[in-house]
């Protein structure tokens, strides 16, 4: 009896249990429980201004979301924003990685500089770009007018056609470094022999990039694409700081909608349901990553 118990929970099991317990406890309380709780909330009609009546409504909140015009507007805004952000971030990251993968004097300095945007808090990132875009004192206006590209100052963020792109620009500035770092590490792992073989075979610089660098970069690129999508889809800080969803509904993205629904309208039920929809979408997107990361552990 004792031997059988010892067998199932030997020294390894007992040690592992002690070592893993704190993390599991924290994650259960701060991640797993809220996730489940959130699902419960999303099945109820909870409005904080009406605390006593919180009827169970099943999936009504979800149905209500899909009938909500604002939701579909937010979906299209989020999609546009995410696609632009991810595409430009990735392209810029490839260019930066190619540059920093070269050996030249000052390369280390540039690599250190790359960490500055990464370390910048997103709130500061937002206020910095808002200041640059400022309609009367902003750097962007001054620069373009001094260069003769613009004849008079413009209210950049007030232009509904430009708002999302300008916010995306701020996001790209902050996100590009990590993507570039990941790609540089992938590039460093490409065996030098491949380049030498390609040179001997007579490939020029562009051909070497297309036939050696790009294929070898694929795993890194995959990771960058999925990771950037995951975080761009749920950007919130920049929208709060720079536009608050405006002008009009020009930057009315999903995370902003969830924030407004929950903390301004205090409709927690629908807010939670929206969070769940967004979480599901992100989860499906990142399922690929899990499988991919899971395989190597």
Instruction: Please list every residue from 77 through 96 that binds other proteins, using CB under 8 A.
Output: 95-96
Q: Which of 45, 60, 68, 134 binds other proteins (CB under 8 A)?
A: 134
**Out of 128, 144, 150, 162, which residue is the one contacting other proteins (CB under 8 A)?**
128
Of these, 1, 52, 112, 147, which contacts other proteins (CB under 8 A)? Answer: 112
**According to CB under 8 A, which one of 6, 76, 79, 204 is a site residue for other proteins?**
6
Pick the closer one to other proteins by CB: 164 or 272. Answer: 272
214 binds other proteins (CB under 8 A): no
By CB under 8 A, residue 133 contacts other proteins: no
Among 15, 79, 204, 265, contact with other proteins (rule: CB under 8 A) = 15
Residues 165-204 vs other proteins: string with x where CB under 8 A? --------x---xx--xx--xx--x---------------
Q: How many CA atoms lie less than 13 Å away from 133 in the CB half-sphere?
A: 23
The stretch among 62-70, 80-88, 134-142, 193-201 that binds other proteins (CB under 8 A) is 134-142
C-alpha 170/C-alpha 85 separation (Å) is 9
Residues with Cβ within 8 Å of residue 10, at least 6 apart in sequence = none
Q: How far apart are CA 185 and CA 297, in angstroms?
A: 19
**Which residue(s) pair with 229 in the sheet?**
none
CA dist., res. 10 & res. 13, Å (int): 5
Distance in angstroms (rounded) separating the CA atoms of residues 83 and 68? 23
Q: Quick one: 91 or 185, whose CB is closer to other proteins?
A: 185
Q: Indicate which single residue of 62, 87, 117, 198 sits in contact with other proteins (rule: CB under 8 A).
A: 117
| DSSP H helices in 153-267 | 163-188, 192-200, 205-208, 214-233, 237-242, 254-259
List CB contacts of 155: < 8 A, sequence separation 6 or more: 135
> Could you tell me how many residues of this chain bind other proteins (CB under 8 A)?
103
Residues 219-258 that bind other proteins (CB under 8 A): 219-220, 223, 230, 233-234, 236-237, 240-241, 244, 255, 258
The Cα 63–Cα 270 span in angstroms is 10
């Amino acid at each position: 009896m004792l031997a059988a118990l010892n067998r199932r929970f030997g020294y390894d099991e007992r040690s592992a249990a002690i070592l893993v317990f704190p993390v599991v406890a924290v994650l259960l309380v701060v991640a797993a429980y809220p996730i489940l709780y959130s699902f419960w909330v999303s099945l109820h009609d909870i409005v904080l201004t009406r605390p006593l009546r919180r009827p169970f409504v099943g999936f009504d909140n979800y149905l209500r979301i899909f009938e909500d015009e604002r939701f579909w507007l937010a979906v299209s805004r989020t999609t546009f924003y995410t696609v632009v952000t991810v595409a430009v971030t990735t392209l810029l990251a490839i260019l930066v990685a190619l540059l920093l993968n070269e050996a030249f004097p000052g390369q280390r300095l540039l690599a250190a500089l790359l960490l500055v945007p990464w370390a910048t808090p997103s709130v500061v990132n937002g206020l910095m770009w808002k200041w640059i875009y400022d309609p009367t004192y902003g750097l962007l206006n001054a620069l373009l007018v001094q260069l003769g590209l613009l004849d008079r100052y413009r209210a950049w963020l007030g232009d509904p056609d430009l708002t999302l792109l300008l916010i995306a620009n701020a996001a790209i500035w902050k996100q590009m470094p990590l993507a570039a770092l990941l790609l540089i590490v992938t590039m460093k792992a490409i065996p030098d022999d491949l380049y030498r073989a390609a040179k001997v075979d007579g490939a020029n610089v562009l051909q070497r990039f297309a036939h050696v660098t790009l294929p070898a970069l694929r795993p890194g690129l995959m990771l960058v694409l999925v990771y950037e999508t995951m975080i761009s889809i749920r950007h919130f800080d920049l929208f709060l700081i720079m536009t608050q969803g405006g002008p009009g509904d020009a930057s009315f993205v999903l995370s902003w909608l969830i924030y407004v629904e929950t903390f301004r309208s205090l409709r927690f039920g629908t807010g939670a349901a929206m969070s769940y929809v967004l979480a599901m979408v992100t989860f499906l997107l990142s399922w690929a990553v899990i499988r991919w990361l899971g395989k190597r552990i």
